[in-house]
Amino acid sequence: MREPDFDNDGWSLDDAEEANRKAPDTFWIPPLEEREALRPGDLVKLIFRISVDNEKKPVAIERMWVLVRGRVGDQYLGILDNDPYAIDENDELWSGVELPFSARHVIDIDGGDETTLARALALPRRHWPRS
Protein backbone atom coordinates (compact mmCIF):
# COMPACT_ATOMS: atom_id res chain seq x y z
CA MET A 1 0.00 0.00 0.00
CA ARG A 2 1.41 3.38 -0.93
CA GLU A 3 2.01 6.17 1.56
CA PRO A 4 0.45 9.60 1.05
CA ASP A 5 2.44 11.67 -1.44
CA PHE A 6 2.47 15.46 -1.19
CA ASP A 7 2.52 16.01 -4.96
CA ASN A 8 -0.18 13.45 -5.79
CA ASP A 9 -2.43 13.73 -2.72
CA GLY A 10 -1.87 17.33 -1.65
CA TRP A 11 -0.61 16.17 1.75
CA SER A 12 1.94 13.87 3.35
CA LEU A 13 3.16 12.78 6.77
CA ASP A 14 6.38 13.94 8.42
CA ASP A 15 8.88 11.38 9.67
CA ALA A 16 8.90 11.71 13.48
CA GLU A 17 11.95 9.48 13.84
CA GLU A 18 13.98 11.81 11.63
CA ALA A 19 12.81 14.86 13.59
CA ASN A 20 13.74 13.08 16.83
CA ARG A 21 17.22 12.23 15.49
CA LYS A 22 17.79 15.88 14.58
CA ALA A 23 16.59 17.23 17.95
CA PRO A 24 16.46 14.41 20.53
CA ASP A 25 16.39 16.78 23.51
CA THR A 26 13.42 18.80 22.26
CA PHE A 27 11.45 16.49 19.95
CA TRP A 28 10.20 13.54 21.98
CA ILE A 29 8.46 10.53 20.44
CA PRO A 30 7.12 7.39 22.13
CA PRO A 31 9.46 4.37 22.28
CA LEU A 32 9.57 2.24 19.12
CA GLU A 33 8.11 -0.77 20.98
CA GLU A 34 4.97 1.26 21.76
CA ARG A 35 4.72 2.68 18.23
CA GLU A 36 4.96 -0.84 16.78
CA ALA A 37 2.35 -2.32 19.17
CA LEU A 38 -0.64 -0.11 18.34
CA ARG A 39 -4.06 -1.73 18.52
CA PRO A 40 -7.40 -0.85 16.93
CA GLY A 41 -9.01 1.98 18.88
CA ASP A 42 -5.72 3.57 19.97
CA LEU A 43 -5.27 7.22 19.08
CA VAL A 44 -2.00 8.44 17.58
CA LYS A 45 -0.86 11.94 16.77
CA LEU A 46 0.83 12.49 13.38
CA ILE A 47 2.33 15.54 11.68
CA PHE A 48 0.59 16.40 8.41
CA ARG A 49 2.15 18.55 5.69
CA ILE A 50 -0.77 20.01 3.70
CA SER A 51 -0.74 21.96 0.43
CA VAL A 52 -2.69 25.19 0.75
CA ASP A 53 -3.64 27.90 -1.71
CA ASN A 54 -1.38 30.63 -0.35
CA GLU A 55 1.55 32.04 -2.35
CA LYS A 56 3.43 33.27 0.74
CA LYS A 57 3.00 30.05 2.71
CA PRO A 58 1.99 27.17 0.38
CA VAL A 59 2.41 24.44 3.03
CA ALA A 60 0.58 24.14 6.35
CA ILE A 61 1.87 21.87 9.11
CA GLU A 62 -0.75 20.40 11.43
CA ARG A 63 -0.55 17.84 14.23
CA MET A 64 -3.70 15.75 14.19
CA TRP A 65 -5.10 12.66 15.90
CA VAL A 66 -5.79 9.45 14.00
CA LEU A 67 -7.78 6.43 15.24
CA VAL A 68 -5.94 3.18 14.59
CA ARG A 69 -8.09 0.74 12.56
CA GLY A 70 -5.56 -2.05 12.12
CA ARG A 71 -2.41 -3.12 10.38
CA VAL A 72 -1.62 -4.09 6.79
CA GLY A 73 1.89 -5.49 6.56
CA ASP A 74 4.29 -3.00 8.13
CA GLN A 75 1.80 -0.12 7.87
CA TYR A 76 -1.18 0.90 9.93
CA LEU A 77 -4.53 2.08 8.66
CA GLY A 78 -6.29 4.77 10.61
CA ILE A 79 -9.15 7.23 10.45
CA LEU A 80 -8.44 10.93 10.76
CA ASP A 81 -10.05 12.15 13.98
CA ASN A 82 -9.48 15.90 13.43
CA ASP A 83 -10.50 18.49 10.87
CA PRO A 84 -7.54 20.41 9.42
CA TYR A 85 -7.59 24.15 10.13
CA ALA A 86 -5.68 25.12 7.00
CA ILE A 87 -8.16 23.86 4.40
CA ASP A 88 -11.90 23.80 3.76
CA GLU A 89 -13.94 20.64 4.26
CA ASN A 90 -13.27 18.08 1.54
CA ASP A 91 -13.43 14.32 0.88
CA GLU A 92 -9.67 13.78 0.62
CA LEU A 93 -8.38 14.93 4.03
CA TRP A 94 -11.05 15.49 6.66
CA SER A 95 -12.25 13.72 9.78
CA GLY A 96 -13.45 10.24 8.96
CA VAL A 97 -11.16 9.52 6.00
CA GLU A 98 -8.96 6.45 6.10
CA LEU A 99 -5.21 6.86 5.72
CA PRO A 100 -2.05 4.77 6.04
CA PHE A 101 0.85 5.55 8.35
CA SER A 102 3.87 3.83 9.85
CA ALA A 103 5.36 3.66 13.32
CA ARG A 104 7.96 6.23 12.20
CA HIS A 105 5.21 8.86 11.80
CA VAL A 106 3.82 8.62 15.36
CA ILE A 107 4.60 11.53 17.73
CA ASP A 108 2.16 10.64 20.53
CA ILE A 109 -0.10 7.77 21.62
CA ASP A 110 -3.30 7.75 23.65
CA GLY A 111 -4.64 4.29 24.47
CA GLY A 112 -8.10 3.48 23.26
CA ASP A 113 -11.26 2.22 24.92
CA GLU A 114 -14.55 0.66 23.81
CA THR A 115 -15.77 3.97 22.38
CA THR A 116 -12.68 4.68 20.29
CA LEU A 117 -12.58 1.04 19.12
CA ALA A 118 -16.17 1.29 17.86
CA ARG A 119 -15.37 4.54 16.05
CA ALA A 120 -12.21 3.05 14.53
CA LEU A 121 -14.10 0.02 13.19
CA ALA A 122 -16.96 2.05 11.67
CA LEU A 123 -16.97 2.59 7.92
CA PRO A 124 -14.68 5.45 6.95
CA ARG A 125 -15.86 8.49 5.05
CA ARG A 126 -13.43 7.42 2.30
CA HIS A 127 -11.24 4.31 1.99
CA TRP A 128 -7.53 4.65 1.20
CA PRO A 129 -6.65 2.95 -2.14
CA ARG A 130 -5.25 -0.54 -1.54
CA SER A 131 -3.31 -0.88 -4.80
Domain boundaries, given as residue ranges, for the chain: 6-121
Q: CATH number of the domain at 6-121, please?
A: 2.30.30
Whether the Cβ atoms of residue 42 and residue 78 lie closer than 8 Å to each other: no
Q: How confident is the model at residue 112 (pLDDT cuts 50, 70, 90)?
A: very high
Q: Which residues contact 130 (CB under 8 A, 6 or more apart)?
A: 1
Cα end-to-end distance, the chain, whole Å: 6
Q: How far are the Cα atoms of 63, 122, 131 from residue 48, in angstroms, in the given order?
A: 6, 23, 22
Average pLDDT over residues 32-48: 98
Q: Per-residue pLDDT tens for 56-101?
A: 889 999 999 999 999 999 999 999 999 999 888 888 999 999 999 9
